[in-house]
Amino acid sequence: MSFHEKSSWIMALSLLVSSALYFFIMVSMSGTEDLAAPNLPVLIVFTIVLTVLATIGHIIIAALKPSEAIDTVDEREQQFFAKAKALPQMCWQ
């Protein structure tokens, strides 16, 4: 698995964990009949948790294989990036 794939998995797991934390905080703040409105402190906690998890995860995968983190993209990833660059152009045609 390449560094970019590992990075994507780290971000997906970080989003999942921080979103679950946000969900449980909001449910615990809600009453039995209505949901609590989003508030700034809870959103700040969500952002901090997401940032910390993503940063720690990327530091770990970069420390385990530093050569892989510096390495260039492989053939398969080049095709993905080429398609991603062409996608906005195809949408506007």
pTM for the structure as a whole: 0.70
DSSP, residue by residue, 27-87: HHHS-SSSPPPP-HHHHHHHHHHHHHHHHHHHHHHHHH-HHHHHSPP-HHHHHHHHHHHHH
pLDDT in tens, 37-82: 778 888 999 999 999 999 999 999 989 888 877 767 677 777 877 7
